Amino acid sequence: MLLIITYSSGARQTLRNICTTHEECVVRRFGRAALLQQTELGAFLALRLYEKHGADVQLERTEPLNEFRDVPDAVREAAKAYENRERPSTPYDKFAVGTDHPALDSMRNADL
Instruction: Label the pairing between strands 57-61 and 2-6.
Output: antiparallel
Cα(104)–Cα(96) distance, rounded to whole angstroms?
9
48-65: pLDDT as tens digits: 999 999 999 999 999 888
Q: Residue 89's pLDDT is what?
A: 94
73-85: pLDDT as tens digits: 999 999 999 999 9
Q: Residue 44's pLDDT is what?
A: 97
Asked if pLDDT for residue 100 goes beyond 90, the answer is yes
**Residue (of 79, 107, 2) closest to 48 by Cα position:** 2
The answer to whether 41 touches 25, Cβ cutoff 8 Å, is yes
Q: How many Å is the Cα radius of gyration of the chain?
A: 20
Instruction: Label the pairing between strands 26-29 and 2-6.
Output: unpaired
- Edge-to-edge strands of the sheet including 33-36? 26-29, 33-36, 2-6, 57-61
Query: Averaged over 13-26, what is the pLDDT?
Result: 96
